[in-house]
A and B are shown apart, each in its own frame.
Chain A
Amino acid sequence: MLEYSLRFLAGGIAVSAFAALGDTLRPKSFAGLFGAAPSIALATLLITLSQKDAQFVGLEGRSMIVGAFALAVYSWTVCVLLKKFLQSSWTATMVALIVWFAVALGASAALFQLS
């Protein structure tokens, strides 16, 4: 329970800090870089390192590369839905989650056979 409380606190602080930093930066495309900040990763990896061996964390890092690729495709999809199809941000970001899951799980299965 304590571990998950710590995770909640660390994740909340890290995500809020990166998001607030993004709010203060212009132009918007530069601020958007902070939308892909390793906020959850930093909070998670520090706690995981204290409990598991470094090899476990290393495998998470390897999968994170695939997740980041899925995030790039997701973000591009959101951009297209907003600009070309004039969807609201909420609809665009929610619909595009299907793309994230498809790319992340598909690429992971192809590369690592979900080992």
Chain B
Amino acid sequence: MIVQFKPSALGQTRWYEYLVRFVLGGAMTVVTGLIAARFGPVIGGLFLAFPAIFPASATLIEKHVRERKEKAGLPGGRRGKEAAALDAVGAALGSFGLAAFGLVIWLMIVQSPASALVLAAASWLAVAMLAWQVRRWL
């Protein structure tokens, strides 16, 4: 299975759906800052991995797949749920990458903040892709 890049898929998302993601993402970042300021970094850090926009994304995926199938005259309910479930599997695998991101930040940020952020982002991508590849092999 080859990973494909399809820029045309961006056209399926409506403007208000982009707006919802932007507002949810912005709001969650503000809330995370408020939680860290009120309860400290131990609790605040947990919310850096909060599934803030996952509900909106999964709902959009289910809706888009269902609409596409129904347009083709096929029942789309179950296919929509399956597509959203696959997205959830990906998010579960991506969580390993997110843990690697946090680990690098924890171990390196005091010594070299800029390098730590770059290495953490690279670690997220590498570990997430490795986890996805390992799942394919199993």
Contacts and interface: CB of A to CB of B under 8 A. Distances in A.
Interface in A58-115: 58-72, 74-76, 78-79, 82-83, 86-90, 92-94, 97, 100, 104-105, 108, 112, 114-115
Main secondary structure of the interface of A (DSSP, over half): helix
Interface in B43-78: 43-55, 57-59, 61-62, 78
Given A32-B87, A33-B90, A82-B81, A57 B105 contact: yes
A7 B50 contact: no
Contact of B117 (A35, A45, A58): A45
Contacts, number: 333
Interface residues of A, number: 84
25 contacts: A3-B33, A13-B25, A15-B26, A19-B57, A28-B83, A31-B87, A32-B88, A32-B91, A32-B93, A33-B93, A37-B94, A38-B101, A40-B25, A40-B48, A41-B101, A54-B110, A54-B113, A59-B41, A63-B48, A67-B49, A68-B102, A70-B49, A74-B54, A82-B82, A104-B49
